[in-house]
Amino acid sequence: MIEDGGLTLAAALKLSGHADTGGQAKQRIQAGEVRVNGVVETRRKRKLHAGDEIEVDGETFVIEEA
């Protein structure tokens, strides 16, 4: 879920359990393992918005508004 300050891609990976640490999230993102709305995203600080679809490890999850 997104609150006022927004949610970064790295934080979303940690919250979803696809990365244990910020460093691991950074590595996965920069390695091209993560897609946002169907496009490979390599920016770990990319701000996510409600409705964005994140795909990693063959799973897709959607960002919801808080």
Per-residue pLDDT of the chain (66 residues; tens, 9 = 90+): 545 567 999 999 999 999 999 999 999 999 999 999 999 999 989 999 999 999 999 999 999 887
Read off the pTM. 0.87
Residues 6+ apart with CB under 8 A from 10: 19, 22, 25, 26, 29, 44, 45
Tokens at residue 61, please?
Answer: 């999850």
Tokens at residue 63, please?
Answer: 């960002």
Cβ neighbours of 7 (radius 10 Å): 19
Domain ranges of the chain: 7-62
CATH fold group of domain 7-62? 3.10.290
